[in-house]
Amino acid sequence: MNAELDQLRSLARVIEAAEATLDAAYGALRGSASALLAGGSSSLAEVSEASGLCEGELLDLLTLGVEDIAFERTFSQEPPGPDHPARER
């Protein structure tokens, strides 16, 4: 029975590692798709087709990206704009 449990544990570790790899790849895919859309060089339909992500998810990525940028600018302790250098921390 111990050999079977060891095999089961090994399989569980392989699955955990595969899931972590898939999560990282999915994050990279979403980031790349979002960057392509934000850059404006590719259409929503093109990015959707290439990435396999639905257009709704892509729009959510763009919306969240814009909201994150706005939030950072609103609550940043550094002055906005390129004319003001970043403060040393």
- pLDDT (0 to 100) of residue 88: 43
* Mean pLDDT, the chain cut into blocks of 10 residues (89 residues total): 92 97 93 90 94 92 68 58 49
Distance CA 78, CA 81 (A): 9
> Other CB atoms closer than 10 Å to residue 47's CB: what's the count?
20
pTM: 0.64
Tokens representing 70? 């706005």
| CB neighbour class for 85 (10 Å; exposed up to 12, middle 13-18, buried from 19) | exposed
- pLDDT (0 to 100) of residue 10: 97
